[in-house]
């Protein structure tokens, strides 16, 4: 099936993109890497009168460090995130996430901003953003604003982005000395979406645990975090099981996903302690 006919406009700048979206009166669709949007349009799951192509806005791409944070432009492609030296040093969790996302062709086109705005509950980057305590930066007709990752993901494919707004970048605190960041997931085949995934970050302030593919949006498992801070892994696994409400589908039952979440937490903690490579 092909996408329904509609217009196309290439935005020259963020301001131009916002003008195009405003003129489309709710019928504009932001086109970044196109890896999710075009597939959804072909299946008629997403329709719009105007595709606003932001892919050539160079200001929205790249990685920089300053003021204790790493800023990653929304148009930075997955492959760039995976190979960037600053990401490698300051947020290895994002580097590691890339190797789990789809296949090389998709990683060469898909953007981190697109993955965050798309908010697939099975995607890696939204959960990484939660685990890292990232801030998402948004621009729109009413000006720029910043949203904590905890407030950004609202439901399946639903975020705090308002109609006509653009996600422009994400900032992540740089890893402190001794910080450990671990991502664990189980997928049926390499490149498939995860059946369950888990991000674990250990900082001087305590542990942060975010899960994906266990409900309508990525979740921060606060009970399990507190139990790990208290040094009780068994209690953390028990708490995790109560904090998630995973779906049953053709890929896995809810009970199996709940079991996997506990297994992944134990694996992640073992890696954190250096017990496994």
| Binding region for ligand FAD (CB under 6 A) | 29-37, 39, 74, 101-102, 106, 109-111, 113-115, 117-118, 120, 123-125, 161, 166-167, 193
Give min distance, CB of 34 to ligand FAD, in A.
Answer: 5
124, 211 in Cβ contact below 8 A? no
* Cα gap 241→222, rounded to integer Å: 12
Give min distance, CB of 53 to ligand FAD, in A.
Answer: 9
Please name which of 53, 72, 54 lies closest in space to residue 62, comparing C-alpha atoms. 72
Give min distance, CB of 111 to ligand FAD, in A.
Answer: 3
93, 132 in Cβ contact below 8 A? yes
Give min distance, CB of 4 to ligand FAD, in A.
Answer: 15
Which CB sits closer to ligand FAD, 29 or 207? Answer: 29
Which residues are CB-neighbours of 230 under 8 A, at least 6 positions away?
Answer: none
Which CB sits closer to ligand FAD, 70 or 227? Answer: 70
Give min distance, CB of 169 to ligand FAD, in A.
Answer: 9
Which CB sits closer to ligand FAD, 39 or 230? Answer: 39
The CA-atom distances, in angstroms, between 166 and each of 14, 33, 53, 66, 231 are: 8, 14, 12, 23, 41
Which CB sits closer to ligand FAD, 60 or 175? Answer: 60
Neighbours of 206 (CB within 10 A): 12
164, 21 in Cβ contact below 8 A? yes
Give min distance, CB of 220 to ligand FAD, in A.
Answer: 18
Which CB sits closer to ligand FAD, 120 or 243? Answer: 120
Which CB sits closer to ligand FAD, 32 or 236? Answer: 32
* Cα gap 196→166, rounded to integer Å: 29
């Amino acid at each position: 099936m092909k996408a329904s006919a509609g217009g196309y406009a290439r935005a020259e700048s963020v301001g131009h993109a916002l003008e195009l979206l405003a003129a489309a009166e709710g019928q504009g669709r932001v086109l970044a890497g196109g890896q999710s949007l075009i597939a959804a349009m072909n299946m008629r799951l997403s329709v719009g009168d105007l595709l606003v192509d932001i892919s050539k806005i160079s200001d929205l791409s790249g990685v920089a460090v300053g003021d204790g944070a790493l800023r990653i432009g929304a148009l930075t492609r997955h492959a760039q995130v995976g190979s960037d030296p600053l990401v490698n040093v300051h947020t290895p969790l994002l580097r590691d996430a890339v190797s789990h996302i789809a296949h090389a062709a998709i990683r060469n086109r898909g953007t981190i901003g697109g993955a965050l705005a798309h908010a697939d509950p099975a995607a890696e980057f939204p959960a990484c953003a939660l685990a890292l305590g990232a801030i998402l930066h948004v621009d729109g007709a009413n000006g720029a604003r910043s949203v904590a990752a905890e407030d950004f993901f609202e439901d399946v494919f639903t975020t705090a982005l308002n109609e006509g707004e653009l996600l422009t970048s994400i900032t992540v605190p740089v890893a402190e000395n001794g910080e450990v960041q671990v991502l664990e997931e189980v997928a049926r085949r390499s490149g498939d979406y995860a059946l369950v995934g888990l991000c674990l970050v250990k900082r001087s302030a305590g542990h942060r645990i975010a899960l994906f593919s266990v409900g309508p949006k990525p979740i921060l498992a606060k009970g399990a975090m507190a139990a790990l801070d208290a040094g009780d892994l068994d209690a953390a696994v028990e708490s995790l099981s109560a904090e998630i409400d995973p779906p049953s589908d053709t890929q896995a039952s809810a009970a199996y996903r709940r079991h996997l979440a506990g297994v992944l937490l134990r694996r992640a903690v073992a890696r954190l302690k250096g017990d496994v490579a």
